[in-house]
Amino acid sequence: MARPSSSQGPRPSSSSYHDPRRLPIWAHRDEVLWALETHSTVIVVGDTGCGKSTQLPQFVLQAGYGAPPWVIGVAQPRAL
């Protein structure tokens, strides 16, 4: 899976948060959801500001993985 990067263009500004589709992670949405369907654990690495912590849980929830027995967990590298 390609690494979402904010270095592919200008760093997301505060206006990006009004339209999350402008965040770099959105280009990888289908790829992330495919990985969830084919693997029991998925680790996503990307630059600060690419939308990992804010958008990935939304992708997963919208795809129907938020109901039992599924659990959505987001960890920060400093917490691992």
For the chain, 80 residues long, give each residue's pLDDT as a single digit of tens.
666 655 555 555 555 457 888 899 999 999 999 998 999 888 888 898 899 888 998 998 899 888 888 778 777 776 55
The contacts of residue 12 (CB under 8 Å, 6+ apart) are: 6, 22, 23, 24, 49, 50, 51
Q: Token pair 């630059």 is at which residue?
A: 47
The contacts of residue 8 (CB under 8 Å, 6+ apart) are: 24
| pLDDT the model gives residue 80 | 53
| pLDDT the model gives residue 5 | 56
Chain centre to alpha carbon of residue 18? 16
| pLDDT the model gives residue 75 | 77
| pLDDT the model gives residue 7 | 52
Ramachandran class of 67: left when φ > 0, alpha when ψ lies in -120 to 50, beta otherwise: beta
